[in-house]
Chain A
């Protein structure tokens, strides 16, 4: 029973990380109808920028003040938002009228570019680094034998907060209405007076900022940062992408549900079946969803407009 509950708690922690990243895929797909394969690298930059910032402030050795984490979070989100906006402007905007395949291939190119630039010695370098502990890594409480760690609570609370903020933005504000309108029909949206390019810029900014939060939380949880081009990052990005597809790509709530599902399957599979095949379970879920409900668990089958 304790093992079961512990696995459950761990899954929720992991699921929130996936959710933050999955949202970037789903938001961009919503407005541009293509998979931004460079998004996992934005997540990596989020983790590494957090490391660089935390180290630069000298918090690595000394132990950090209370505002260290929020400050690093905000700065990393700003860095990644700027990066995402720059990627869209430089790489994708010139291809707005090109076939979708060209954009997809460009995204893979951007991904490789970021991985290689990240390894330059004046950027992040090729060596793994230990993330400075911005949060006390201790047990907050023990409930029925289950360890609830400070970091897990902080990560889940902040994730829920960011998701609620996003939900409010999308469903309750003028900007959110414009985003949904653009996602449905760009041309008609422009007839309403919406500057479609500005909405796309904002969407990239928001998605990338959420990925930065995911990157920081990941670095805080798994403190040994692999070098920027390591396969771990690509795999993490892929899992977040699977989460977005499983939940129904383009669907914001679906991305969160998909992320939790993926995390549950991964953690419970690792605990009760075999820890060596944890990545396999995730992709089995993907195949199953694509076979039986290709539009995703929360996606609506696309009906041709008459």
Chain B
């Protein structure tokens, strides 16, 4: 059984039918990416998985448990961390306090200290700014903090929503390098990206979303060679 199974997921926002029967699964240890244009439903899919929006139909199973309709804070407790769209940094808290929020549910101070140290090794720029208000960080640093904060939760499954959004190319390179090393350490990742080039590079499996429906799925390397995908999402003509 896969770590995460999404089946027949429908989400409505008022009159808008944002997701239509989305079905896919994420195997333990894999990096799976959802790519697609703006408004295709990538973020909505993540929000439906982590409990921020209630699906109108379908089910989500995590570690064999049905989590559809469960409140977000209970889903987190099962070992799922979601670094949301727009980074979701608490700008009124210090960088250090933001990291502590990531470990909110953990009761093992020694383990938290160890994972915090490790997260800070991945992002030395964050380590230099621990006592600064998180609102004063640059966009790239905020993204690093968002990922570091999710890692401190020691998740089995990490949901990453557009980690490259609005960042300079160099920072994007850095972020993806770290995503790769997090995956190498055994954390399963579900990555949502508009930057299809980077996403297909790092992922094992990829799904393409178009206006709320999964249109193509397959090994990431294969999709990267697919002519239609190359034209639509990789800017190759």
Contacts and interface: CB of A to CB of B under 8 A. Distances in A.
Interface in A190-232: 190-196
Contact of B72 (A177, A183, A191): A191
B92 A180 contact: yes
Interface residues of B, number: 27
Interface in B67-93: 71-73, 76-77, 81-82, 84, 86, 88, 90-93
B30 interface: no
Nearest to B93: A180
A215 B179 CA distance: 55
B91 A192 contact: no
A305 interface: yes
Contacts of A305: 86, 91
Contacts of A196: 73
A192 B104 contact: yes
Interface string B133-164: 00000010000000001000100000000000
- Which of A183, A185, A191, A306 lies at the interface centre, i.e. has the most chain B CB atoms within 10 A of its CB? A191
A188 interface: yes
Given A174-B104, A181-B101, A190 B90 contact: no
Contacts of A188: 84, 88, 90
B27 interface: no
Nearest to B88: A188
A179 to B, nearest CB: 11
A161 interface: no
- Which of A177, A183, A192 lies at the interface centre, i.e. has the most chain B CB atoms within 10 A of its CB? A192
Interface residues of A, number: 20
A193 B153 CA distance: 10
Contacts of B153: 192-193
A14 interface: no
A181 B50 CA distance: 18
A191 B149 CA distance: 11
Contacts of B210: none
B155 to A, nearest CB: 11
Contacts of A192: 73, 76, 101-102, 104-105, 149, 153
Contact of B52 (A181, A191, A193): A191
A187 B82 CA distance: 11
B100 A177 contact: yes
A35 to B, nearest CB: 20
A189 B50 CA distance: 12
B73 A194 contact: yes
A178 interface: yes
Contacts of A306: 139, 166
Contacts of B92: 180, 183-184
Contacts of A180: 90, 92-93, 97
Given A177-B97, A181-B93, A196-B73, A191 B82 contact: yes
Contacts of A195: 71, 73
B76 A191 contact: yes
A178 B72 CA distance: 15
Interface in A105-150: none
Contacts of B93: 177, 180-181, 184
A192 B82 CA distance: 8
The 6 A-B pairs of least Cβ separation, nearest first, read: A188-B88, A193-B105, A193-B76, A190-B72, A192-B101, A192-B104
26 contacts: A177-B93, A177-B97, A177-B100, A178-B101, A178-B104, A180-B92, A180-B93, A183-B92, A184-B91, A185-B88, A190-B71, A191-B72, A191-B76, A191-B81, A191-B82, A191-B84, A192-B73, A192-B76, A192-B101, A192-B104, A193-B104, A193-B105, A193-B153, A195-B73, A305-B91, A306-B166
